[in-house]
Amino acid sequence: MEASALQLLPFINTALKQLPVDDSEDPGPRTVPAACFSRILALQPLVRPSVVCLSRSALALLGLSAQEVLRDPLGPEYLSGSRRIPGSEPAAHCYCGHQFGLFAGQLGDGAAMYLGEVESGTHGNWEVQLKGAGVTPFSRDGDGRKVLRSSIREFLCSEAMAALGIPTTRAASLVTSDLLVSRDPLNSGRRIPERCSVVLRLAPSFIRFGSFEIFMGKDDFSGLQGPSAGRHDICAQLLDYVIENFYPGIQQAHSKRRDRNMAFFKEVMVRTAKLVAQWQCVGFCHGVLNTDNMSILGLTLDYGPFGFMDRFDPDFICNASDKRGRYSYQAQPSVCRWNLARLAEALGSELNVAEAGATLDDFMPTYEAFYLAIMRKKLGLVRKEETEDCELISDLLRVMHNTGADFTNTFRLLSRVPLPDDGDSETATVGPVVDLILEQCASIEELKVVNQPTVEDCIFLVFRELAMILSMAQTDPVLFCMVADKRDAAQQLERLGRLKELMETDGDELKKKHRNDWIHWIHRYRRRLAKECDVTNDLQLIKEARLSVMNSNNPRVVLRNYIAQNAIQAAEQGDFTEVNRVLRVLEQPFSDEFGLEPLDGPSASTLGYDRKPPAWAQRICIT
């Protein structure tokens, strides 16, 4: 019988050849010292696995076609970890991590199984993983399985991010099965049976910041240490592996080890700064930015409780488990810098301490430069750079926040703001686009809901008590600082002030105010656009270039939670039509040809993918 395309994949398995591997035959969860990987000797087959979705572009990175995969009678078994693909060497990667700011000791691939690296010609080498294939030495108390809803979210978002041009791991296939596991999806104490599913993930490497934390000594606060604490020889070996294989230019450019390592750390800093700038500019929130979820290559890694913002809110939290907002939207840049500092600590003597500190100091300016450059493109400001641009952008975000504007749709609509034209009537000209933007803004009822105080202490407070805190902040700041969590209290007081203003305003008055705010900002925006026209007299050329840049930097469609939820609900009933349909739309996020049609089916929304989310979307809880 002729071998299938999956059976002929050219595995080279570089990591296992160049890094220490634990060959223990103990199948259970355990501490794994002195090793970067641990072999998985026994596979854990699924019950009747079935391929339900494929990404053609991700499969192509391995030299595979969807037709080849679907024709292979053993395809579902290979892609679910139920049968070993010839040439693969199943293993699990060992890493540690700081989770929500605390060192957690050994973590590792508790639900992911390394198969090896595939040599793919012009596409380079790709590490292949199966996520959800069963217990590994790092599963701790878990079963190593992933369920359908989380697998669908990771599959769709991996491919959505790739189509947006944001560095990411990829997802090539989604397999489900008849094997059920018990889960508590809302952390409510109510467990339900859910269907086991597996995602085939690809990346040049899944090495992460936490990979270097396995060498950390005893942490003063948690009392935990890495499983390979003090093994500086293995740390150096892992660093050599990463730089030689994934940063060859740096390897070739430096003859001195310390210089090479510093150049590597600086490049990781730059890639991380650029990545988080790209996240911020599409309204993406990762949700769990622990050091074990930070790629050493600057990729978006591990899609857990992620979320794309609907209504713009700098305090947006996509993870319902993140009660303190450590990983909120606006906190992401500073958290990434904090994680880089933990990486520098883990590398220790491999870096020059003073130079590493200077590199960390460069992070925020580097991030801000990337962010500003992308934001200029989103606003079509491509011919000139003006000092006023920062203020223009911050004022736009302030208006969006105050009016509850939809992040994605508002930026897309700004391309309709007309260029200045002599003799036109400002208000009449911008009126139509303002009307469209206002349709994407929150109602007064929605704004009242989102401005309710949310800190746990506020459950026991009434507005009178909050007003007393406000009075304290104004009359006795020292006492206020002693008794209040400044960041949380400031946020809640700001919300209280906005809520008070909303309670004293009727709907018509608020709409008028919001309309005036938008008209005022758009007038400023058009004055800035006029400076773009100073470069040339060819207004048609400017219009075409501006429209092209804006529409290729402002997606029309992103993976909103309600879109994913509709697909998940249909899939849980055995219908994967919506999952595949959403994938096709997300693969062309900037296109005007997709996303307009209403969803079909009994559980579907009546809105298209590019519309303001329905009210029920606010109730979706991701943990």
Catalytic residues: 292
User: At 146, which helix (H) or strand (E)?
Assistant: strand 146-147
What does the alpha-carbon distance between residue 474 and residue 483 come to, in Å, rounded to a whole number?
Answer: 14
How far is C-alpha 379 from the geometric centre of its chain's CA atoms? 23
135, amino acid identity: V
Angle at 191 between CA 189 and CA 192, to 5 degrees: 155
Q: Which two tokens stand for residue 373?
A: 């450059």
What length does the chain have? Answer: 623
Cα–Cα distance for residue pair 284/138, rounded to 1 Å: 29
Give, in order, the Cα–Cα distances in Å from 326 to each of 113, 275, 308, 336, 485: 29, 18, 17, 11, 14
Contacts of residue 452, defined as CB under 8 A and 6 or more positions apart, other chains included, come to 495, 499
Q: Which two tokens stand for residue 161?
A: 């991010």
**Torsion angle, CA of 358/364/370/373, rounded to 10 degrees?**
-120
Q: Which two tokens stand for residue 338?
A: 């904090």
How far apart CA 51 and CA 70 sit, in angstroms, is: 8
Is the torsion defined by CA of 345, 351, 354, 358 positive or negative? negative
Q: Could you give phi then psi for residue 126, rounded to 5 degrees? A: -130, 125
Question: In this structure, what are the phi and psi dihedrals at residue 8, rounded to the nearest 5 degrees?
Answer: -100, 5
User: Residue 611 phi/psi, 5° resolution?
Assistant: -100, 165
How far, in Å, are 241, 270, 344 from residue 213 at the CA level?
Answer: 16, 21, 10
DSSP 220-233: TTT----TTTT-HH
Main-chain dihedrals φ then ψ at residue 449, nearest 5 degrees:
-65, -45
Phi, psi of 129 (to 5 degrees): -130, 150
Enumerate helices (H) and strands (E) in the chain, giving the number of each: 22, 13
DSSP for residue 50: E
Evaluate whether 483 touches 457 at the Cβ level (below 8 Å).
no
85 SS3 class: coil
Q: In which element (H, E) is residue 496 found?
A: helix 486-503
